[in-house]
Every structure is written in structure tokens, then in C-alpha cells.
Structure 1
């Protein structure tokens, strides 16, 4: 009894250390990437290079399935520590090049890609560790905290990075990021993550390739996981790009808002995402996969007043009425989007065996990440085509959400209880033989 209580306390402490390390590491990486982009802008004076470098640094995130295979094969605590130390070494190397006046645009691009690649390996190890460090009943809340940290880092990086870069300069920003990575690595040494060494019959490359094949096959065979991946991808295709692409266009161009109102509006959107992540624990107890379509219908209903705020009649009343109605609709939509995303991913975590967890989570995240830029391109074309009728893309989003709600209801209409799986035990035994 005492031993079990000590074990729970130990795991709680380990999760706290993991969470604190995430704050330091993710924020340090985001700050450095943004600071390097600004430095490239100062070197060249070209906004296209600034944007290209920042975009290229996100491409390695698509390699996260490899990170998932690594996370399932090796000690996850060791991996987290190694990746933080690797980031620290990359930062140190760049600092030396900067001191020697060899920090060219190409070098900056390489550093940003390396940091992003390390992040692609790092995140699956963290995601796969969470179910081992918290009680199952608190898994949604734990995932919400981790996702909230990621969203906060992405929101704070452009603001804080710009301030630090302007006031302290790139060199100080680099030193600060290096210290952050080192501090995170040292902290993670004290985490206790259960690990069972798996037998390795082939060389590491062949083993990882086989593991990835197993992961993709498992996702394809498990219909419940495949459905969850489709839902996550659709959310990233339909909703997320609307705020990323449409938010700035609507607030800045359509509503002609001031710099202050624009900044406040975008900040409210970002804060809504964080609020959704932090309140997932309140809603998760009442959520079921079989009734998930109701949440999607609520989002669809909220899109109607959002669309109304973009009509010529509403815009004719002045900036403030349309601005307030738009944000009043966006806040609950952004919160619901985050809550649904975390809930769906948590269901996958709960039903996936530990030795497949890293691969499965990484595959789902990679597919969702691929869907987002596709959606951004589509919305970019829509807002360009209907620049004078911006309510039309919003109405299309309304129709897409109704269709998604119908698809989701069909997915789970025969599901009696949320824990139902597709003969998981038999599938698991077959894949364990690999």
C-alpha cells in the first residue's frame, strides 16, 4: 500500500519535471527559431527569405514517425535528455560560427532545420511517456497541459523573441536558448519513466524500418484509431487554417481594425486555444466518442454568427460591432477545437499498447500536420477569390463542419461504449511477434 502510494507520488513528480522541461525546451526552441529568422531578415532585407526559412524549419516535423519508432525502441527518458543536449550542442556550434563571422543565411537555415528535426524526434518521446506518468483518469488533463504549453510557446515566441532580439541582440538570445536546453536536459535526468528493453535481432536501421512498418500497419488495421486520425486531420484541414489564414485577413483587411485591435484580436484567438487545453479536464468526463458529433454541431452553429459578422450589413455598422461578434464566436470555437483534438488523441493513447504508442501518436500527428498546410492553401485561394464576400468562406466552413459531424456520427453510431476497440488483443499479439 505504502509502496503504491510512493510510486504514484514519484510519477506525479516525474510528470511535473517533464512538464517544466517542456516549458523551457519548447519556448527556447521557438524563441531561437524566430530570432534566427529575424537575423536572416536583417542580413538580407528580404521578407521572402524570412518567411521561407521559418516555413522550411517546420518541414522536418513530418519525420516524426521516425521519432515515434525511436521512442518505442529506446529508453524515453534517455532520449529526452539526449535531444535536449543535442539542441544545446547545435546552439553552441552556431554561437561559435557567429563569433567567427561565418553565420550566413545558409548556416542559419541549417541550424533551424536541425532544431526542428530534433523537435520532431523529441515530441513523440514526450507524448508516449505521458500515459506512463499519470493516472488514466487524469490523462486528458495532462495532455491538455502539454498541448497548452506548446500553444503558449507558439504564441509567445514572435512577441517575446522580437523583444529580446531587439533589446538584447541575437547573441544574448542564443546564449539564453542554450542555457534553457541545458537546464531542461539536467532536469529530465531526474524523471523516472518505466522502460522494458525489447529484443533487437537486426541492425538499428532495419529494426526502425520494421517498427515503422508495424506502426503504419497497426493504424491501418485498427479502425478506431484510423477514425480518430481522420477526425484529427479533418479538424486541421477545416478549422485550424481558417484562423491561421482568415484571422489576419478578416481583422486587418476586412474589418480595417487598428494595430491595437488587430493585436488584441489575434491574442484572444491564441488565448482561447490555451484556455481550451487547460479546461479539457472539466469536459473530458462527460465526453464520448459516440456523441462527439454533437460538439461538431455546436461548432457549426457558432460559425453562423461568425459568418454574420462578415456580411456587408454588419460591416456597415462600423468596426466594433462586427469585431465583437466575430471574436465572441471565435473564442468558443477555438476552445472546442482544442478540447476535441486533445480528447481524440487521448482516446488513442488509452487504447494503444505501450510498445506501439510512440509510433501511433507520431503517425497521427504527422498526418494532421500535413492536412493543415493543404487547408491553408485552400483558404488562401478562397479569401483571394471572395475578397469582397468574406462571409462565403465562412459559410463553406459551416457546410464542411455539418458534413464532418454527419461522418463522425456514422463512424460511431454502432459503438456501444467509448472503450470499444476492434479486437485489439488479437491484433496486438500478431504485431508483438514482429
Structure 2
């Protein structure tokens, strides 16, 4: 896909060191996002919030639940764990394809609805863990909801990135995208560490974690709605 992206190249003469250039580019991108395009700063936080709350929960929480919480034998849990990893990966791929197929129909100022839907899908996941239901039923609900959440999250992220690329001045695109990706990427391991601690401490009440994640997801969705309202 990337070989078809045409990026005009213009050689620039500079006598500064690479570290000084990096510092200047970083300061320029932060100043642009913070002063000229404050909505981009809010969208950056929303993208980071998706990785911090939802992506980290899917990556850390679901495998832990399959391996340690649901009533499966060790061999069965290992097999289903592999399936769960594949399902989450497929969800991300489906989201990427969906963003391309439905790209023209999707509006960036309505992208917050994708996050809201993702947050709502955490509710049935928490419910099946709160009540005593068959392990395979709980697994099915977790897998189905996880697939859709990963798909919607991918579509949301692609929408935001596409909007930024289309609206940011040509000479600032790389700098702004790099900053947003850096912030969003750093948020995910923080979320993974946080969920790792929570699942260790609350192994018998993991539904509370899903309830808290639902609230956070809704708040992120509302924040995204406010950021894109004027777009």
C-alpha cells in the first residue's frame, strides 16, 4: 500500500545537526498543534485514549481472561487463546478495509459515534464475566465484541489520521503525524501495565474493570465529539 503513496521530495540545505533539526521540528509541530490547531491536540488525546483504554484492554485483558479466569483446561485455554489473538488481529484488518470501503460515507465529525459504540460493547463483556454463565458462551461474547471493538477503533484512528493529512499544510504533515503517532503509541504500553496490575489485583471482579473502561470510553467519545463539532 505504501509504495503507491506519492510524497513530493524537496531537498533542503541545512547546516544544523540532526539533533537540532529534530528539536526544532518537534517544537514547531507542538506549537502548530497547540496554538493554530487546538482541535488536533484534542484529537491526539482521543487517539491516545483509545490505545490507553480500549486497545490495551483487548490486548492484555482478553488473553488473561481466557487463560486464567474462564473455566477451561490448560490445553483448551491455550488453543482458545490463540484463536482470540487471531480474532483481534482480524478485527483490526477488517477496520482498515472498512475505512477504505466506507471512507467517503464516513464523516470525521461523526467519528465519535464509533468510540461510543465501542464503549457500549464493553458492557456485555463485563456482564458475562459478572454472572455465572458457560465458559464457551462468555468466550463467544468476548470474541465477538472484541472483534467489533478493534474494527471500530481502527476505523476511527484512520479517519482522524486521514483528516489530519488533508487539512494540515504540506510542509507540516510529517511533523504533526509523527507527534500524534508518538503520543498514541506511548499510551498503549502505559495502559497495558495498568491493566496488568488491575487484573492481578481484581481477578475475581474483573467486570468492574470493564465497567470503568466503559465510562472512560464514553468520556473519550464525548471529548472527540466536542473536538470535531466545529469541523
TM-score, scaled relative to structure 1: 0.49
Deviation at 1:289, TM superposition (A): 2.7
Q: Which residue of 2 aligns with 1:215?
A: 29
Deviations 1:346-369 (CA, angstroms, capped at 9, x unpaired) = 111111222222211111111111
- What CA RMSD, in Å, does the superposition of the two structures yield over aligned residues? 1.9
Contact 1:228-1:344 at 8 Å conserved across structures: yes
Matches of 2:81 and 2:58, distance apart in 1: 13
Deviation at 1:275, TM superposition (A): 1.4
Matches of 1:412 and 1:344, distance apart in 2: 10
Contact 2:46-2:223 at 8 Å conserved across structures: no
Contact 1:229-1:367 at 8 Å conserved across structures: yes
Which is bigger in relative contact order (C-alpha 8 A, separation at least 6)?
Answer: 2
Deviations 1:2-36 (CA, angstroms, capped at 9, x unpaired) = xxxxxxxxxxxxx66x27xxxxxxxxxxxxxxxxx
**Unaligned segments of structure 1, at least 5 residues:** 1-14, 20-129, 134-192, 419-434
Over alpha carbons, which structure has the higher Rg? 1
The reply on whether 1:200 has 2:17 as its aligned counterpart is: no
Contact 1:296-1:404 at 8 Å conserved across structures: yes
Give the alignment of 1:341-352 within 5 angstroms: 341-352=157-168
Matches of 1:251 and 1:321, distance apart in 2: 12
Deviations 1:330-381 (CA, angstroms, capped at 9, x unpaired) = 1111100111111111111111222222211111111111111111122112
The reply on whether 1:297 has 2:116 as its aligned counterpart is: yes
Contact 2:43-2:224 at 8 Å conserved across structures: no
**Unaligned segments of structure 2, at least 5 residues:** none
SS class of match (2:205): coil
The reply on whether 1:273 has 2:88 as its aligned counterpart is: no
Matches of 1:207 and 1:230, distance apart in 2: 25
Change (3 A) 1:208 1:267: closer
Matches of 1:274 and 1:256, distance apart in 2: 30
Deviation at 1:390, TM superposition (A): 1.4
Deviation at 1:203, TM superposition (A): 4.8
> Aligned match of 1:358 in 174, 182, 200?
174
Q: Which residue of 2 aligns with 1:324?
A: 140
Matches of 2:226 and 2:98, distance apart in 1: 28
Contact 2:111-2:159 at 8 Å conserved across structures: no
Change (3 A) 1:402 1:206: closer
SS class of match (1:310): helix
Q: Which residue of 1 aligns with 2:127?
A: 308
Matches of 2:209 and 2:21, distance apart in 1: 46
Contact 1:240-1:372 at 8 Å conserved across structures: yes
Deviation at 1:201, TM superposition (A): 5.5
The reply on whether 1:232 has 2:51 as its aligned counterpart is: no
Matches of 2:86 and 2:57, distance apart in 1: 16
Matches of 1:367 and 1:393, distance apart in 2: 24
TM-score, scaled relative to structure 2: 0.89
Q: Which residue of 1 aligns with 2:190?
A: 374
Q: Which residue of 2 aligns with 1:264?
A: 83
